[in-house]
Amino acid sequence: MNSFSRQRRLTAAALTALAVAATATACSSGSDSSDGKGAGSGTYTIWDPYPQFDKNSAWGKLLDQCGTSAGVTVKRTGFDTSDLGNKALLAAQQGHSPDVLVVDNPVVSTLAEAGVLTTTDENKLDTSKVDPNLLAAGRFGGKAYGTPIGANTLALYYNKKVLKKAGVDISSVKDWQSLTAALAKVTAAGKKGITFSAIGTEEGNFQFLPWFWGAGAKLTALDSAQAVSALSLWNDWLKHGYAPNSVLNNTQTTSWQEFAGGDYAFSENGTWQLAAAKKAGLDYGVLPVPGANGGNAAAAVGGEFVTVPVQKDTGRYATARKLATCLTSTDNLYNTDTTLSYVAPTSEVQAKQVAANAELKPWVDAVKAAKGRTSDDLGTKYPKISEQIWKAVQSALSGSKSPKDALSAAQSTVK
């Protein structure tokens, strides 16, 4: 049966998943509902997770321009990212889905599984220029359900002054062993090693995944030797004083504040801290998270997808596609991703970004190595897996369980 006419399966699992699937880098709130239906003309609704941008912002103006180009009026509402998925499910239940939905990438597979979204085969969005690893974050059941508007991810900021004082050459940091050796030198020199967020939420899991994947571990086997090695790395850092006990409660924001104080050599954080790094006046550099044995680890992909929800009136899809295509065009992506502090999802625009700002080069490298949290067709299973990972991290770092026992318990619960 064509999915345009299929019945929606708005499951309890989808609702539960959305409660914890939001990424860690979102902002405020808003509310609205879809109206003004009339294919090819009138008002088309767009929902996004950028309530910080008003109608007069670059983002607000772009939406209006895309509407004008498509010959329609755009009615836009910005929601808090943690609310948007549930609002989209509710709207689908009521038959009032927005025409275009910009949604956090881990939520795409949950909405797709619930029957809320059309596939790119159906809505005809062109994804041919998108980097495959980024497009995979919006795939479910072998099908793509949208196109990324941009991406962010994690890397290691480093303080050049602290490293120089400790006699550490950043070019020597290539894997876990050399990174740990650098942390030992820094602490021996009287400074602090590395700070990150290990808080018991998705935010902490987002920060742990580069090490988990960098060890070669898989989300379907939480108790593997590779997974244990990743958690043991963090655990050993705390034991040796290379990382502070505050990581157990640190958000990415409070972790950054520790690094901004100037005493830490490294901080695991994201592109969204670039402006803060400049404001802090730090002499800093950026290094992709190293894999256990070298190379760049796959950090988790952050960022949103532009999707086209299922509508009863299938005549609306043509204009919805025009709007979505406009928002993700090569010309508009450059300006939009600059506004959002994102790396573009296409190599063409990434090259333009680096040409304009050479500081983005390590972030482009990190994004190219990044991986979607639901890329392995985990769908609504991912939030449960994620929860068990962060609980295991908390158990190990607090000393209540060994890394091996904590991850064994996590795998048993997931099964």
Structure confidence by residue, pLDDT tens digits, 137-163: 999 989 999 999 999 999 999 999 999
pLDDT of residue 378: 80
pLDDT band at 336 (very low <50, low <70, confident <90, very high): confident
Residue type, 227: A
Q: Which CATH superfamily is domain 12-152+302-369 in?
A: Periplasmic binding protein-like II (3.40.190.10)
Q: What angle do CA 370, 193, 276 make, to 5 degrees?
A: 60
pLDDT of residue 238: 98
State both tokens at 270: 């994201």
DSSP class of 272? G
Residues recorded for the chain: 415
pLDDT of residue 45: 98
pLDDT of residue 40: 61
Does 166 have pLDDT greater than 70? yes
Does 297 have pLDDT greater than 60? yes
pLDDT of residue 32: 38
* 236, HSE (Cβ side, Cα atoms, 13 Å): 13
Does 205 have pLDDT greater than 80? yes
Does 12 have pLDDT greater than 50? no
Q: Are 389 and 221 in contact (CB under 8 A)?
A: no
The model's pLDDT over 374-398, given as tens digits with 9 standing for 90+, comes to: 887 787 788 899 999 999 999 999 9
133's CB contacts (< 8 A; 6+ apart) are 301, 368, 369, 370, 371, 372, 375
Query: What are the sequence ranges of the domains in the chain?
Result: 12-152+302-369, 154-299+378-414
Beta strands 264-270 and 192-195, pairing class: parallel
Other CB atoms closer than 10 Å to residue 62's CB: what's the count?
Answer: 18
pLDDT of residue 338: 85
pTM of the model: 0.83
How far is Cα 336 from Cα 61, in angstroms, rounded to an integer? 11
Beta partners for 371?
A: 300
CA distances (Å), origin 36, targets 78, 82, 96, 186, 314:
18, 26, 10, 61, 15
pLDDT band at 39 (very low <50, low <70, confident <90, very high): low
How far is Cα 32 from Cα 282, in angstroms, rounded to an integer? 42
Residue type, 135: L
The pLDDT > 90 percentage for the chain reads: 80
Place of tokens 């490294």: 266
pLDDT band at 8 (very low <50, low <70, confident <90, very high): very low
Q: Is there a shared CATH topology between the 12-152+302-369 domain and the 154-299+378-414 domain?
A: yes
How much is the CA Rg of the chain, to the nearest whole Å? 22
Mean pLDDT of 107-125: 94
Other CB atoms closer than 10 Å to residue 3's CB: what's the count?
Answer: 16
Q: Are 98 and 34 in contact (CB under 8 A)?
A: yes
pLDDT band at 11 (very low <50, low <70, confident <90, very high): very low
pLDDT of residue 10: 46
How far is Cα 80 from Cα 51, in angstroms, rounded to an integer? 7
pLDDT of residue 381: 86
pLDDT of residue 229: 98
Nearest CA to 18 among 72, 86, 120? 86
Does 14 have pLDDT greater than 90? no
CATH for 154-299+378-414, options being 1.10.1200.10, 3.40.50.970, 3.20.20.70, 3.40.190.10: 3.40.190.10
How far is Cα 298 from Cα 61, in angstroms, rounded to an integer? 35
